[in-house]
Structure 1
Amino acid sequence: MSFASPASLPKLVSAALILVLCLAFAPSAHAQLEIKIKTKQREYVQFEDIPVMITLTNRSGRDLTLGGPGGADWLDFRVFRGQRAVRRSNLNNIFEPTMIRNGQTMKFTVDIANYFTMTDFGFYTFQAAVWFSPARKYITSNRTSGNVVSARVLWDQTYGVTRDRPKTDTDLSEFESLHDDGGSRLMTLRTHKFMKFTGRNKSYLYYRLDDPSTLACLTCYRLAELIDIRKPMFAIDNDNHAHVLWMTRPQMYAKVEIDTRGNVLPDSVKYFKEKGPSIPRLQAVPQGGVAVVGGVEFDPDAAKEQKEATRRLSELPPGLEELIDMRRQLEAAE
């Protein structure tokens, strides 16, 4: 074994110091590709979407083509429930190769519940990972978290509906097999379900559509904030559409109609408020429909515009308000 001579030690120390400094100040892959993720909420009701907002900035000094190694996805996630890693349930390639220009920032949202099974109650942490081809490695983002929780069922209703026949009979539920007439459409069951989740400071109304034959949840989402001064009202019409009327603010209510596929009908979203002793409520009407009676309907957008107009008037210079009122009076007299 040979050792460096005392005369060569200063040169070796100098070379080592230069190497350390070069490594310390060399631009890292993390600095060249910046990845940030965040969520809008901290708690998610079981089966609810878990959207993660991703911000990706290219600081490499050149255009980059985002594509994974060997045809794999260039964007992936690392999900943990407690200390245990959660396996990806959707193994298909989702994110196609794309280009990000030098200095460009991309912002997009991904529902990670589509790729990982996150239906067990508990505390989850997740982190995004992007393949950085110049360094031939995945670069990870910051960590964020979410808690999957339960919600209390306020009302549910099971009803019959038809669906397209699946490719194989093994996909039929027991109920569908018993009611199978051999046609292209099958009679099956669905359950409308409304739930209440109470967070730290607010309560929210949730909707969920279930297949009671297979115990599968088909969709679950938050409707809006729920005020419990008055209990929400529920009904189902002759088309098996679910109707709900609930208080969103003191003396103010929202009403929606949800079809048999779990979709809110856009034209059905309406708002009402109390008028004296008259309180909005759901009521069955002829031909099997459901309507709101009592209270008075109002347009929150129009109310907002009026409020903003009033605010703008209050900001006018002294004396100008009187001139505007005078002009209105003269125009009315004409």
Structure 2
Amino acid sequence: MVDGIFFHRRLGRLAFILVAMLAGESVHAQVQATLSMSKKEYIAHEPVVATVTLTNNAGRDLLIHADERTTLNWLDFEIKNSRGTSLSPLAAMNFGPVRIPAGRSIAKSVDLTGAFRVTEPGRFRCKAVVRLPEGGGNFVTNTTYFSVTLGRQVYSQRVGDPGRGDVREYRLSIHKTPQKSSLYVHLVDIRTGRTMQAFRLGDVITSKAPKATVDRVNNLHVLFLAAPNIYAHGTVTPAGKHLGTKYYNPAAGRKPALATFQNGDVVISGGISYDPKAEQQNRARLRKLSERPRMTFR
């Protein structure tokens, strides 16, 4: 009699474990995860953005969150360099819970530069690990590849007061791909050697070298050929803030140039203001008019 009771208890426990495992496998099989990068090549120190997309095919809403028992995040990344060495996290990544409605997808984008040393030149491969709560299991996404390069530096200028220890350096570099060339700005803290900001100013035609100078408040002004007969003027502050980019067409018999007044202000001379968005909207409007059916009068 006692043996029978123990047998039934064991059978009940095994059945419970089996049901839990099957439920976990069911959820695991019905949640699809993919990993993508914002692009394949990055300039050193610019944001390396990875996006994990989760699709819920479980037939019910899912809440994914950190495991309270182990404090493990529901999302982690595994990154290896070209030698196959895994990169250790520089800082912990904390992700809040996410709810995925049945039949829907959600995307989570993460800047990996804050958590891994992916600011140095090289090739890397990355995959994400997703942990489902309540024994739902772990699974790994596809592997994606990306590279980091320095680009070709074409300009540098230090600004600030050495006596106060706030000297910073603007650096311009050009990154070429088979499709196009891009102009980048880096802002470096000279005292610490840390890159404070790195971002893309825009497409550049390299047949004409970019021109740059600083104004009386140490803002960086960059003038470059963005497209045939279209010049771009970008401005960056010593804090690394991009104040925007304006565009110009050449004036009659002249070409846009950076001009510095005696008070230190920097302006564009020899250029006519040009709005590429307005031009694009005008072309779209003309295209719609041309697509209208011809009217026939009898």
Query: What is aligned with 2:222?
Result: 244
CA contact (8 A) 1:229 1:250 kept: no
CA contact (8 A) 2:27 2:136 kept: no
Query: What is aligned with 1:280?
Result: 256
Say whether 1:300 aligns with 2:276: yes
How many Å separate the matches in 1 of 2:224 and 2:294? 43
Query: What is aligned with 2:178?
Result: 200
CA contact (8 A) 2:38 2:48 kept: no
Give the one of 52, 62, 66 matched to 1:68.
66
Q: Please tell me the root mean square deviation across aligned C-alpha atoms, in Å.
A: 2.1
How many Å separate the matches in 2 of 1:97 and 1:38? 21
Query: What is aligned with 2:201?
Result: 223
Query: What is aligned with 1:170?
Result: none
- 1:49 is paired with a residue of what secondary structure? coil
- 1:54 is paired with a residue of what secondary structure? strand
Give the one of 44, 47, 50 matched to 1:49.
47
How many Å separate the matches in 2 of 1:203 and 1:110? 26
| Partner deviation per Cα, 1:121-155 (whole Å, 9 max, x = no partner) | 21101111111124443221111110111211111
Letter in 1 for 2:47: D
Query: What is aligned with 1:89?
Result: 90
CA contact (8 A) 2:212 2:222 kept: yes
How many Å separate the matches in 2 of 1:273 and 1:313? 27
How many Å separate the matches in 1 of 2:30 and 2:211? 54
Query: What is aligned with 2:132?
Result: 132
Letter in 1 for 2:290: S
CA contact (8 A) 2:34 2:52 kept: yes
Letter in 1 for 2:287: R
Cα distance, 1:116 vs. partner? 0.8
How many Å separate the matches in 1 of 2:94 and 2:33? 19
Cα distance, 1:187 vs. partner? 4.2
How many Å separate the matches in 2 of 1:229 and 1:201? 15
- 1:142 is paired with a residue of what secondary structure? coil
* Unaligned ranges ≥5, structure 1: 1-22, 162-174, 180-185, 323-334
Say whether 1:111 aligns with 2:116: no
Larger Rg: 1
Query: What is aligned with 2:35?
Result: 37
How many Å separate the matches in 2 of 1:256 and 1:74? 40
CA gap 1:111/1:135 in 2 versus in 1, 3 angstroms: same
Letter in 2 for 1:247: L
- 2:142 is paired with a residue of what secondary structure? strand
Query: What is aligned with 1:15?
Result: none
Say whether 1:259 aligns with 2:221: no
- 1:84 is paired with a residue of what secondary structure? coil
TM-score of the aligned structures, taking structure 2 as reference length: 0.85
Cα distance, 1:248 vs. partner? 0.9
- 1:85 is paired with a residue of what secondary structure? coil
Letter in 1 for 2:200: R
How many Å separate the matches in 1 of 2:27 and 2:86? 25
CA contact (8 A) 1:245 1:281 kept: yes
Cα distance, 1:54 vs. partner? 2.1
| Partner deviation per Cα, 1:37-76 (whole Å, 9 max, x = no partner) | 1123211111111011221112223322212222221111
TM-score of the aligned structures, taking structure 1 as reference length: 0.76
Say whether 1:209 aligns with 2:210: no
Letter in 2 for 1:234: A
Letter in 2 for 1:210: V
How many Å separate the matches in 2 of 1:113 and 1:138? 24
Letter in 1 for 2:173: M
CA contact (8 A) 1:57 1:104 kept: yes
Query: What is aligned with 1:102?
Result: 102
Cα distance, 1:223 vs. partner? 1.4
Percent of aligned pairs with the same amino acid:
27
Give the number of aligned pairs: 272
Cα distance, 1:201 vs. partner? 2.5
Higher helix content, 1 or 2: 1
